[in-house]
Every structure is written in C-alpha cells, then in structure tokens.
Amino acid sequence: MPHWSVYTGDSEPHDGVDRLPPPPPWRAFDGEPVLPTPRDADDEAAVSPDRVHRARTYVAAPESVQLVNAALVLRRPLLVTGPPGTGKSSLAYAVARELRLGPVLRWNITSRSALSDGLYQYDPLSRLYAARQAAAWRAGASRGDLPGAGTASEASAAGADGVEDHLRLGPLGTALLPYDRPRVLLVDEIDKSDLDLPNDLLNVLEEGQYEIPELMRAARHSADAAEVLADGTDTPVPVTRGRVRCRAFPFVVLTSNGEREFPPAFLRRCVRLKLRRPDHEQLTEIVRAHLATPPGEADHLITRFLNRAADGELATDQLLNALYLTGVAGLDPASRDALADELMPYLSPTADTDGF
C-alpha cells in the first residue's frame, strides 16, 4: 500500500489514523478546545449490533480503499455514487470501525432537509416556556408561595436555563467540533435533497467551521464557553462565543444513487467514488462475510441473481435475504428456487418481472 494509506479495508481495528500525513496547507484547521474522540464504533454499547455487523462484514474493493485514503489525506468529502445495495452507506461504518473513529454520525437527507438541520436545532418556544416558569417561581418566592417548587424550578430561577439548554448540535455540527481524530459523518442520499443543499454545504465543508447566532448573542454577556449537547450523546461539549471550528476535518461520506447531477463547484470539492455492481467473485466474498452458507448452494443462487440482474435492477441485500431464508427453511431445490425468485423482484418498475 502507498505510504500515505491508513485505511486497509480488512476490517481489523487499528490506530493507523494517527499516522495520517499532515493536511495540505489549504486544508489545515486549528479548532479549540481539543475534544477526545468518543468511544470506539465497535463498542456495542455505543452503536447498535446491526451497524457493528455491517462494519465488520463490509468487503471493500481496491478502488474504494484507495479513494477513502485519498479523501482522508486531502481532508475532502467522499462522494459515493452507485446503485442501491452496493454498500455506499456501509463504507462509512467500515472506515469508522477500522480506524477507531467513534460512532458514525448519520444525516438522512430528504427533500425538506436544510443546512440548519444538519448543524443544530434550537427551540425558542421551550426557552420561552422555561423563562415564564422561572418568572413565576421568582414571583412566588417573593410572596413566600413557591409554585412547583423543586430542583428544575430552582435551576431555572437561578438563571441556569439559558440558550444552550434549548439547543442541540446536529450530525454535521457535531462532526465539525474540534475532535483530536476525525469523526465519520454519513450524509445519506444527498441526491434526494432540495437543489440548494449541495451549494449550501460548500462553505461549511470548505471552511470547516460555522457559527451559532443564538449563542453568539448570548456570549455578549458572558465570556464563558456554553455547554451544548452534541448529536448522539448526552454529554455536553464546550462552544466558545458561538463559533465551532474543527481540528481534524471529519471523514464525510456523501451517498448518491446517481439520480441527479451536482453543481461543478460542489463536485470539485469532493473525492468521487463510483461503486459498480459486484461480480460473481465479489458476491461470493460478500456472502462469505455475512453468512455461513454452503459454497455450492451460494454459488447457485449467486449465478441466478446475476442472471436476473442483467435484465433489471437488484440489490445485494435481496441475494442475502434469499440465501438466509432458503438456508433456514430447509427446502428442496425446486422450492428453494421458487422462494428465491419471490425474494428477488426487480427494484425498477420498468423491468420484466415475469422470470429470469
């Protein structure tokens, strides 16, 4: 492997990210205070078992390994394009696990997603309600009649219920905190977004920083850092004067099914990886990683899957479902093939669904 490679694709966790070459001068960041990376992504207490399985069993092609390393070294987002079921999102979990970069931060994109959703959420109505409760508590205290007396009311009355108590960082906002190692951010299905979102992401991903106006206004009256909740954790992190700047640029995986074109300005800021449908050999490796299926039976259904895929869109998940269910059902060959056919319908409505 090239000396600048840290991701190997063999799924064995290691600390090779600490040997990552320095960033290009135009991609160096100096955010503070430095935060420790959260618990390992392979810790089942920190991430669900299904995601651990996806990370462990991901089979990376040589091109994927090379371009992942390129994105890590260049501190650039990785735009991963490919048909459904080719492992676009699983790649993010595999990299996080192997390089021990903590739990993956995931932002699922819809047509209604806006940049602010990824950065942070602020609830002014809950703050207004808390302020009214605090005012009622103080009024009651002055009369000697405390409505709803208790710890929560006392904290509000003491001024502890500030802007930061009603604000939470989103997955993008959390990824840009000044962690000592890059966090992994999965921006899933960005091609489903509003037309403006890719362009809106440009400045944030280029600068590696953003501002929180609500905290900036509050900082005028206090020089202390605000303690804000980050995505995926209940442990607050410090944000100084409403400004967040990364230290280790996050490993950002943007997935796309290829359903739309992106602006040139957006594309030139990304490392681009195009995943293709796996061939027979790659499917055999994928099946071996996921299931303890007898080789002969797996080979038969893999061939059947590929023959059908030549005429329409299928996903690798469908093959794995068919192999698992036909294996546990204990069916004879004819019944097994019939069940497999039912479990592997075309994903495209234009495909011929009458047979192989």
* Of 151, 107, 110, nearest in space to 133 by CA: 151
For 24, phi and psi rounded to 5 degrees?
-60, 150
Residues of the chain with pLDDT > 90, as a percent, come to: 58
For 147, phi and psi rounded to 5 degrees?
-75, 130
- Report which of residues 245 and 325 the model is more confident about: 245
User: Which residues, in sequence order, are CB contacts of 256 under 8 Å at separation 6+?
Assistant: 79, 80, 81, 88, 189, 190, 191, 262
Task: Check residue 155 and give its pLDDT.
Answer: 44
Task: Report whether pLDDT(41) > 60.
Answer: no
Radius of gyration of the chain (CA): 25
pLDDT in tens, 236-281: 999 999 999 999 999 999 999 988 899 999 999 999 999 999 999 9
| Residue 128: pLDDT band with limits 50, 70, 90 | low
- Report which of residues 40 and 259 the model is more confident about: 259
Would you say the C-alpha torsion 298, 304, 307, 312 has a positive or negative sign?
A: negative
Task: Check residue 1 and give its pLDDT.
Answer: 54
Q: What is the mean pLDDT of the chain?
A: 85
Task: Report whether pLDDT(139) > 80.
Answer: no
Task: Report whether pLDDT(336) > 50.
Answer: yes
CA distance 16 to 9: 12
Task: Check residue 333 and give its pLDDT.
Answer: 83
Q: Angle, nearest 10°, between helix axes 295-309 and 316-329? A: 140
Task: Check residue 330 and give its pLDDT.
Answer: 77
CA distance 356 to 333: 17
Task: Report whether pLDDT(193) > 50.
Answer: yes
- Give the Cβ contact number of residue 184 at 10 Å: 25
Task: Check residue 253 and give its pLDDT.
Answer: 98
Q: Tell me what the mean pLDDT of segment 292-311 comes to.
A: 84
Burial class, 46, CB count within 10 angstroms (exposed 0-12 / middle 13-18 / buried 19+): middle
Task: Check residue 51 and give its pLDDT.
Answer: 76
CA distance 278 to 347: 17
For 116, phi and psi rounded to 5 degrees?
-60, -30
CA distance 185 to 337: 40
Q: For residue 302, give both structure tokens.
A: 């893999």
Alpha-helical regions (H) of 99-123: 115-119
Task: Report whether pLDDT(42) > 60.
Answer: no
Are the C-beta atoms of 37 and 101 separated by less than 8 Å? yes
* Most confident segment among 110-124, 135-149, 219-233, 323-337: 110-124
Task: Report whether pLDDT(207) > 70.
Answer: yes
Q: For residue 191, give both structure tokens.
A: 């091609």
Q: Tell me what the mean pLDDT of segment 286-306 comes to.
A: 84
Task: Report whether pLDDT(91) > 80.
Answer: yes
Task: Report whether pLDDT(88) > 70.
Answer: yes
Task: Check residue 356 and give its pLDDT.
Answer: 39
Q: For residue 180, give both structure tokens.
A: 């000592």
Q: Tell me what the mean pLDDT of segment 305-334 comes to.
A: 88
Are the C-beta atoms of 244 and 176 separated by less than 8 Å? yes
Task: Check residue 353 and give its pLDDT.
Answer: 47
Task: Check residue 243 and give its pLDDT.
Answer: 95
Q: Tell me what the mean pLDDT of segment 162-182 comes to.
A: 92
Task: Report whether pLDDT(12) > 70.
Answer: yes
